[in-house]
Amino acid sequence: MFSVYKYREYFIAGVNHVVPDYFQDVVFIRQQGSRWDVTSAERFRPQDSELSIIRDAVKFATHKDDLKKAVVDLRSKGIVLEEIRNFPFPRSLIEGKKKIQAEFD
């Protein structure tokens, strides 16, 4: 299950980790013409003050419950975030990459 929220033209999503219910990262996704731009919340530098508030609330979410709590807090401040079930961007943008670590003796 993916955690995706929408604010204006931006989608905020948790990138799934190999460990269920945990995130590798939280990203902001926006369509630019025919392509999708994905920016890590930690690197995202918005001009909009509400987007800055959203970024600060979600950028350190490591678990799906952290992201849900951040969204509830933002909604209590009057920021409208819509939960998205069928997102328009490719699923591969938020599917986690499995990291393989080789052990050498």
Alpha helices (H) along 2-104: 49-58, 64-76
Q: What is the mean pLDDT of residues 85-100?
A: 83
Tell me which of 100 and 68 has the higher pLDDT: 68
Q: What is the pLDDT of residue 98?
A: 61
Would you say residue 29 lies in a domain? yes
Alpha helices (H) along 1-105: 49-58, 64-76
Full domain range(s) for residue 72: 4-88
Q: Residues 10-28: pLDDT tens digits?
A: 999 999 988 889 999 999 9
Would you say residue 9 lies in a domain? yes
Would you say residue 101 lies in a domain? no
Would you say residue 23 lies in a domain? yes
Measured between alpha carbons, how far is residue 31 from residues 10, 36, 38, 69, 90 in Å? 8, 4, 9, 26, 11
Q: What is the pLDDT of residue 99?
A: 55
Q: What is the pLDDT of residue 12?
A: 98
Single-letter amino acid, residue 81: L
Number of neighbouring beta carbons within 10 Å of residue 51: 18
Which residue bears the tokens 């990203």?
27
Q: What is the pLDDT of residue 95?
A: 86
Q: Residues 16-74: pLDDT tens digits?
A: 988 889 999 999 999 999 999 999 999 999 999 999 999 999 999 999 999 999 999 99
Would you say residue 102 lies in a domain? no
40, β-bridge pairs: 27
Domain count, the chain: 1
